[in-house]
Chains A and B, each alone.
Chain A
Amino acid sequence: MSVVADSLSGIASVAILCIFCAMALFADIIANDHALVAKTSDGIILPTRSNQDTQLYLWSIEPIIRYKPSTLGLSHTPYLPPDMSGQPKHYMGTDHIGRDVAAGVVHGSRWALLIGIGAILITVVIGLFFGILSGYYGDSSIRVSWILLTAWCFLQIIIVFYLTYSGLTSTTCLLLGCIAFIFTFWVICIKMTRVLALREWLVFSIVLLPLDLIVQRLHELWKAIPALFILLSILALIARPSVWSLIFTIAFLSWPSISRLVRAELLRIREMNYIKAASIGGISHLNIILKYALPNAIAPLFVLVSFGISGAIIVESTLSFLGIGLSADQVTWGSLMGAARNNYRAWWLAVFPGVCIFLLVFAFNTIGENLREHYGRMM
């Protein structure tokens, strides 16, 4: 914390971040079309829970913004500029179908933070996996028998075949397939090679597995694909993209940045004496990675993570702006701004959500920049 907030911009960005987190957490309290606490003849009730607003309250505490982002009514005029005269007030005007922008902005912080942080978490998981494979194990530490490797490849084809014709849903298939892919590789290629390594019929077939080379080729493949173009195509393929499919797609496209960094760090750390000492001491690879190697590689990762969050937020809002991201009933900052495209006179639709995106992106970028400077000084 002190690392991030040692300058004015750092303090400002942490403050912005806290405000948006609070907004996301308490969105239902800040913007709701029910009273928060009300006194009726039966006693004090919480109308947001009971979903009844027809009763007459003796007194009530109203939320600041008295709309939900999805509240639609015939009385609501579309493209209403911010006005303080109406009752209840539209602080930031209304969008193209008369929904309150202020409520949308407050609730939109949830989507922005959820997608930003969720996407980066999954990106980090994938990136760490490939980064460890290429950086720590590298080209010359995994021995496999190519006979077993071929057998494994055939097994994969069979698994894919049975999953395709099993009649399961595609998500389940994908998940099961990934698990089977890794698990069978571990069992057949790593464990069985180790067990059978000394058998005569196998020993001639043992080769070094060029993991680093494979991952590097993957990086190059990913570099050749323009991310935004393929992102749009994948989302067009999914009939109704949910938050999770969006998060996974963003992660699927952006893992190489993390993986490259982890690889570079681990290549450096792998040669350190304490890793060698631990290795000689008989500690397993997994333990070395988790307890000795990764903690030393994690610091520069934070820089990429905070830039990655802002990148994911920009991608998400761009997609919603274009109308390809989440479905239309989920109000996000991008989709609010997208409504301005049909009516450029509605300046409030461009200004308020845009300022929010800018502030959040700015905060994450600043945190990343401060972290980078800090680690730069440390090195």
Chain B
Amino acid sequence: MLRYTIIRLLLIVPTIFIICMISFLLFQLSGSDTVDGLLSFRGLRSSDELSIDYEKEYRKAAVEVGADLPLFYFSLVPHYYPDTLYRISYPSDAVLAKALLREYREWHEIQPYMLALKGFYRAVSKHKVNKLNDAYVGSIKASELTAINVDVAAVVRQTPELSSSFILMLDRQRAMTSGSQQNWFYPRLRYHGFKNQFHHWISRFTSGDLGRSLIDGRPITNKIFKALNWSVTLGLIAILLSTLISLPFGFYAAYFHQGLFDRFGFLLLYVIFSIPVFWMATMLIVFFTSDDFGKWMNIFPNVGTFYTGRSQGVLGQIWSNFEKLILPLFCLVIHSLAYMGRQMRSSVLNEKNKAYYKTAIAKGLSQFEAMRRHVLPNSLLPILTIIIASIPAAIAGALVIEVIFNIPGMGRLLFTSIYADDWNTILAILVIISLSTMLIYLIGDVLYQKLDPRIKFETR
């Protein structure tokens, strides 16, 4: 038992590591810029991107955050990549460097060219030649640069201060482009050690610091903790309520099997099962929160924002918003009821068909007594699995409800983060949710085994 639990707990570690790795990969693919986010809280907006100041600040901030480190413990790059390419933290520079590397291969000629190009930029922005500013923004490939050069030369002739840096740039460009071209390349493995972005990220993660949100710069840990409180509390209330309803339902439906209650209840749950939860919520809001369809239909308060004072705990906040939470709770309960009620019914029926029930009847117990004393305790076991399994489903199903009713839970946090492209928060949510899902399943399995000694899980 203990051994099983420990093995399962240990198995969570590699799974979470894989999920972290996938999340980190998603983060890189999303192309979101942590440094830019950081700078925008400090008052530097990326619309000033061309200015030299912004770039300087960006570099500084990148060193601070660790964005100038290699991504992973090792990297596999084409052989012509220089070994410190990751130090170029400024995104447009990095893109330009990679594009130039692809085309011309020789880093010792590309680097001077990029420096000269920078120098020319600086001169241009110093002398306020706006025409050139625009011309150079999109020109990443060197072939495009040569095409623009005609106009550039004309402008340079008008402003002689630019000529020295311009000629330097042209020289170095010529040197770069004149090299022989190769098309083939082979991979080269580079080991970077523990000083890399992934290592920093994951070690911050394990120490409980999930980083800062890109929207408002608040620590993500706080945000998630608050949201998780709401989601878990609401989810538990909903599951508790639906268990309290579905358990008697399952019992009586099985007791009066094929009776009117059973048939009607089963049909009702069956229909509810097919109703998408967001439709139900929308319909309830449309018809029961306004006077449009008669005064008596206006039962519930409008969907609004929630009062979330700082002083109260989550329970206090839920209590003070209780009126507004009736509808969402109703939707959540109905949503899980449709699944749980059917499962409970079939679980009780399954036990009722076994031989020991007939024995109990045969030895003279009334049907009710036989059901209560023999069938019910046995059918509670699978019900436990159903309840445990419905917790993650309840959290996921709550996403839409939270968004519709503006409840500040996990689902809504994810939704707003997605809309704001806040990938720091999105990934933290993903990792936290999957970690808690795995823990819930583990608790369920351990409990199940504890309660039913017949069950032995394999430990491979």
The residues of A with any CB-CB pair to B shorter than 8 Å are: 157-158, 161-162, 165, 167, 213, 220-221, 223-230, 232-234, 236-237, 310, 314, 317-318, 321-322, 324, 337, 340-341, 344-347, 350-351, 354, 357-358, 361-362, 365, 369
Contacts and interface: CB of A to CB of B under 8 A. Distances in A.
A340 B282 contact: yes
A224 B286 contact: no
A213 B400 contact: no
B399 A228 contact: yes
Interface of B: 15, 18-19, 26, 29-30, 76-78, 102, 185, 187, 270-271, 273-276, 278-279, 282-283, 285-287, 289-290, 292-293, 303, 392, 395-396, 399-400, 403-404, 414-415, 418, 421, 426, 429-430, 433-434, 437-438, 441, 460
Contact of A237 (B30, B185, B273, B278): B30
B405 to A, nearest CB: 11
A234 B423 CA distance: 11
B25 to A, nearest CB: 10
A317 B275 CA distance: 12
B396 A237 contact: no
Contacts of B271: 362
Contact of B282 (A158, A225, A354): A354
A365 B269 CA distance: 13
Contact of B400 (A157, A322, A361): A322
Contact of A220 (B15, B282, B392): B15
Contacts of A237: 26, 29-30
Given A361-B274, A361-B276, A226 B29 contact: no
B415 A322 contact: yes
Of A234, A236, A358, the most chain B CB neighbours within 10 A belong to A236
23 contacts: A161-B76, A162-B187, A213-B460, A220-B15, A221-B19, A223-B437, A224-B15, A225-B437, A229-B396, A232-B415, A232-B418, A236-B418, A237-B29, A314-B276, A318-B276, A321-B400, A322-B415, A341-B404, A347-B292, A358-B276, A361-B275, A361-B276, A365-B274
A230 B19 CA distance: 11
Nearest to B31: A237
Nearest to B16: A224
A228 B19 contact: no
B290 A344 contact: yes
A321 B278 contact: yes
Given A221-B15, A224-B19, A351 B285 contact: no
Given A337-B282, A358-B276, A167 B102 contact: yes
Contact of B26 (A228, A233, A314): A233
Nearest to A233: B426
Given A224-B438, A324-B418, A351-B286, 7 more contacts: A162-B187, A223-B441, A229-B399, A236-B30, A237-B26, A237-B30, A358-B279
A4 B185 CA distance: 60
Contacts of B282: 337, 340-341, 344, 350, 354
Contacts of A365: 270, 273-274
Contacts of A157: 76, 187
